[in-house]
Amino acid sequence: MIESWHIAVLLGGSSAEREVSLRSGAAVARALRSLGHQVGEVDPARPGWSLPIGTEVVFLALHGTYGEDGTVQRELEALGMPYTGCDPEASRVAFDKALTKQCCLAAGVPTEPFLVVDHPGAPWPAGWEAPVVLKPVRQGSSVGLQFVDRREQWAPALAEALRFDSAVLVEPRIFGRETTVAILDGQPLPVVEVRPREGAYDYQNKYTAGATEYLCPAPFGPAVTAAIQAAALGAYHAVGARDYARVDVMVRADGGPVVLEVNTLPGMTETSLFPKAAAAAGLGYAEVCHRMVALARARSRRAAVPAADRRDVKLGVTQ
């Protein structure tokens, strides 16, 4: 029988990914309650929010700024409160696409070269050829993603990408098969291949029902599958991740993997990619959520901060 824990699920928040986070958090809360846990749902959309008295561990179902960039992790560590997922530094690094690329290149993880642009009037980068991809450095869920197939598209695409962050990552566009690898407790799960029915796997195709086909396990041979998982695991370790994450990997026609980014708090709706991969490994949705919480508890056996000490602790969104 599973021991009952008092868990606070943080969901929503004020980032551009609020709606997805609300869906992730609601699904997680339902799953944990189904196992007998005492679950409270907390939306840190406003300054001054606090955890329910008696909370033993926090499940982070936040996406985007504040939730994935290390901020809420630092606040929870100041409280001595165990929480799911990566620590503040790994969260900060993985949320920054440029820092992630630097870590991958330093560790020998296969990824494309890149540069960072922080001015809307910046010219076409010298020595580069189209096509390229523009990504806000600190956003998730493909928010602000732009494809530039011709140089004359550069200026409007750069201006659009800069609406979502003060800096934009530029990298060559890779043509191949798009995959993602969920990692749980340091072990890669079956590879998921993502096939948009039209266009690229952008925000619209991610969250429009029926717009994308998902294959899991992805139909690759054993050697290519192993290479994809090895690249993902290399990126996971390169950014200092722990417990779980999801790594996006492009696969070239020759089977060579190219890491795109690391997601330290991947989507957790019941149809999200991480649960799909877990299901292919024989892990039910509720079991995955429980294991994520169990990893946090096992990592920190410190008791929750006594209620008398926590009544006046206020946590706030800084965006």
Specify whether the CB–CB gap between 153 and 103 falls below 8 A: no
For tokens 């790594």, the residue is 247
For 276, residues 6+ apart whose C-beta sits below 8 A from its C-beta are 192, 214, 216
Per-residue buried b or exposed e for 274-294, using 16+ beta carbons within 10 Å of the residue's own CB? bbbbbbbeebebbebbbbbbb
For tokens 């450095």, the residue is 137
Specify whether the CB–CB gap between 58 and 299 falls below 8 A: no
Specify whether the CB–CB gap between 262 and 236 falls below 8 A: yes
Just list the catalytic residues.
Answer: 17, 141, 207, 246, 248, 261, 263, 267
DSSP 3-state of 92 = helix
User: Rounded to whole angstroms, how far apart are CA atoms 89 and 94?
Assistant: 9
Specify whether the CB–CB gap between 84 and 245 falls below 8 A: no
Q: Where are the alpha helices (DSSP H) in the chain?
A: 18-34, 71-79, 88-95, 97-107, 154-161, 203-207, 222-238, 273-280, 285-299, 307-310
Q: What is the identity of the amino acid at 306?
A: P
For 249, residues 6+ apart whose C-beta sits below 8 A from its C-beta are 179, 180, 181, 228, 231, 232, 257, 258, 259, 260
Q: What is the identity of the amino acid at 198?
A: E
